[in-house]
Amino acid sequence: MFISENSFFSLALLRADEADAEAFALRGDPLHTTDLSLAGRQAAGALFLRYYQARFQGDAPDVPAVDFIKKGKPVLPDFPDFHYSISHSGEWAAAASSGLGPIGVDIQKISRFDARVMKKCFAADDIALLEEAEETEKDALFTRFWTEYEAVLKVFGGGLLSLSKDSYADARDNVTLFHPDAPEGYALCVAIGMPQT
Tell whether domain 2-192 is in CATH 3.90.470.20: yes
For residue 172, give the nearest of 116, 126, 119 by alpha carbon. Answer: 126
How many Cα atoms sit within 13 Å of 98 on the Cβ side?
Answer: 22
- For residue 171, the model assigns a pLDDT of 82
- For residue 108, the model assigns a pLDDT of 95
Q: Whole-angstrom Cα distance, residue 175 to residue 104?
A: 10
- For residue 89, the model assigns a pLDDT of 84
- For residue 131, the model assigns a pLDDT of 94
Instruction: Please provide the DSSP assignment of 20-49 as one string.
Output: HHHHHHHHSS----S-HHHHHHHHHHHHHH
- For residue 52, the model assigns a pLDDT of 59
- pLDDT by residue for the chain (197 residues), tens only, comes to 566 778 888 888 877 666 556 555 554 444 444 454 555 555 556 656 665 555 555 555 555 555 656 556 666 677 677 788 888 888 888 888 888 888 999 999 999 999 998 888 888 899 999 999 999 999 999 999 999 999 998 888 765 545 666 677 778 888 999 999 999 999 999 999 875 55
Contacts for 123-130 with beta carbons within 8 Å, 24 or more apart? 123/165, 123/168, 123/169, 123/172, 124/165, 124/169
For residue 105, give the nearest of 114, 93, 121 by alpha carbon. Answer: 93
- For residue 101, the model assigns a pLDDT of 85
Q: Whole-angstrom Cα distance, residue 91 to residue 6?
A: 25
- For residue 157, the model assigns a pLDDT of 74
CB 146 within 8 A of CB 159: no
What are the boundaries of each domain within the chain? Answer: 2-192
